[in-house]
A and B are shown apart, each in its own frame.
Chain A
């Protein structure tokens, strides 16, 4: 019952605890860095400065915020359901951190490589929706309840396109093991063959993370923070931590499944440091894209969000999966994949554009008054 972690034999329980400690510590630091980076990048987009005062160039702002949040009083509304209210942050926080287990950072840097890693990730990460609903329901606040129910509807709707888009890539690799998927992309990353699946993955991931333009559950101008509205102090910061941890994890999954992770280009030949550069650049690029989207688009409405998932994204992922299956079974040339992806993307944009620009119904009375004129 011994295990090797630091190059010498230690007890298996200590090993497990040490790994958990490393994950939580690493994630906390990453999240604080991400928050600082997001604030700085958003500030650039908005012609502001962002944090400048705390530490050199404001780098300690996240630390100060974290300390402030820990020091704040942990309030609970009197009429709130105590158990639901207090457990909700854990139910959001823990599943997202469990997703960390299967991340393939580098060739030999990971917590565990599971044979069904992708399935594990998908299964575990969807549990956090329960936490959102708990938070919304337990707070005894109507904004929170609307937000929680919105989160449930949105989470369930976008889980499917997300999973199916990942599945499309996994079909090509013939494995759910993330390391195998990465190795399979050593020459050409899957984004080349599956641009449609990548786009759908990105959109669905934005919705899963409740990032703009899909921040409907927390929409500040409508439901004032949604499920979090009654939370304060350390519990609120756990929601925040979970949100940014999800961003980090989904960016790494996207980088591994579609952008070739550490393997492309020349990952195996050039060694560990090059792999680190590759992974950081790809995941960082995706995270930057998420921030960019946040700075530039308005929020969708809940009915538009749902119909976009069920009427547009889901059928297209099905098409992609069927084509992938046909290509694998009948040995069609790979160009078919690319063609499907490009045509599918074109169709997606066309449908969106058409939906947006369809003629407005003119109010009956306006038409009447014009006829009378």
Chain B
């Protein structure tokens, strides 16, 4: 085969395509994107999702309401409590169950702690994407581990908690719950200082993240982004504030909002959210009183009246919504999960095109996707 001849006058270059994933070390699971690069500059990016699709929504339709809880854990495996919460709240609304106060406070504590652990997972994985060899990861992971140990003590499981129930909680928390949470918070505060000191002010870190992967407010809204990725672009939208659920209207906390919409803002925002979550948990601990954790009269078998409901909550990655249709009986007729990751991922092309290859990895990391949640 004859080699193609180059034109004499000018040196013509050709864009090449690079396949990243599904087994690339920094695609956070099994995500695949095909980059078209001109030298080091990304000209086009085509994301492929669906490698983790297990039909969780469909599976939930074949089992009763209590069994579905476990499947929520499996979709959002970094913020399980937040995912469970949406589901049990949807069932509660359909059945019109009043949840006892203590159960609500405990749910709030656990959800915020889960937000902390999820954001720590983000700082760790993001540090690796930016290129800190392991140190950011271990620093963050130790904090996540501390929180997870607490969850294990309460629920008996490290990853798939399945602890929330329609109506309340599966069982009472451990006796030393309050002391343990306070202990965890002290350690997490220290750990946050470590992570902050390692990354936030580091010159190279700033050089790598500032002004990278910018997305404007309009675009962020148009793509249906939510959570920290949206707030970094300057939209003050937090479901905990706008449509308070649980007792978020009774606690005092701030919603950090970025103004540049770049990777650095997304990082800073999540670090700040950890601080706010710590504040929330501390207030919750003071309001926590002994009491029942399930309503007095709970039916043995959960049967919903016909109807449909959409419940959304603020998960660490954004709006985690459950759309539930019931035609009576003990299982949902249709269950649809609105995952924050899938919507946020749509903006990847908008952010990445025109940036460098190395930035593509950082931008993907800054969206903070969980592939199980994206694909379900």
Contact = CB atoms under 8 A, between A and B. Distances in A.
23 contacts: A47-B138, A142-B18, A146-B37, A213-B204, A220-B26, A221-B361, A222-B361, A296-B198, A297-B204, A298-B130, A299-B208, A300-B208, A302-B358, A303-B40, A304-B208, A356-B206, A356-B210, A360-B210, A363-B216, A365-B218, A366-B259, A368-B218, A370-B234
Sorted nearest first, the 9 A-B pairs with minimum C-beta distance are A299-B131, A365-B216, A221-B26, A298-B130, A46-B138, A363-B216, A298-B131, A360-B211, A356-B203
A42 interface: yes
A368 B261 CA distance: 14
B216 A366 contact: yes
Contacts of B139: 46-47
Interface in B9-43: 16-18, 24-26, 37, 40
Interface residues of A, number: 45
A221 B206 contact: no
A302 B207 CA distance: 12
A363 B261 contact: yes
B233 interface: yes
Contacts of B40: 146, 150, 302-303
Contact of A360 (B138, B218, B262): B262
Interface in A322-341: none
Given A300-B207, A360-B264, A369-B216, 7 more contacts: A146-B18, A222-B357, A295-B133, A295-B135, A298-B208, A299-B131, A366-B261
Contact of B138 (A48, A146, A216): A48
A131 B244 CA distance: 62
B276 interface: no
Nearest to B27: A221
Interface in B219-245: 219, 233-234
Contacts of A368: 218
A362 B259 contact: yes
A239 to B, nearest CB: 18
B142 interface: yes
Interface string B240-273: 0000000000000000000111101000000000
Contacts of B138: 46-48
B130 A42 contact: no
Given A298-B208, A299-B358, A366-B233, A45 B16 contact: no
Interface in A218-273: 219-224
A287 to B, nearest CB: 16
Interface in B346-376: 356-359, 361
A299 B218 contact: no
Contact of B130 (A150, A299, A360, A369): A299
Given A364-B216, A366-B216, A222 B26 contact: yes
B134 A221 contact: no
Contacts, number: 126
Contact of A301 (B132, B208, B234): B208
A356 B264 CA distance: 12
A104 B188 CA distance: 50
A363 B37 CA distance: 24
B306 to A, nearest CB: 43
A51 to B, nearest CB: 14
A221 B25 CA distance: 6
A40 interface: no
Contacts of A282: none
Nearest to B233: A366
Interface in A293-313: 294-304
B85 interface: no
Contacts of A352: 203
A17 interface: no
A298 B359 CA distance: 13
A363 B132 contact: no
A108 interface: no
Nearest to A142: B18
Of B26, B40, B233, most buried by chain A (CB within 10 Å of CB) is: B40
Contact of A362 (B18, B128, B219, B260): B260
A352 B206 CA distance: 11
Nearest to A219: B131
A50 B219 CA distance: 46
B131 A213 contact: yes
A263 to B, nearest CB: 35
A361 B40 CA distance: 22
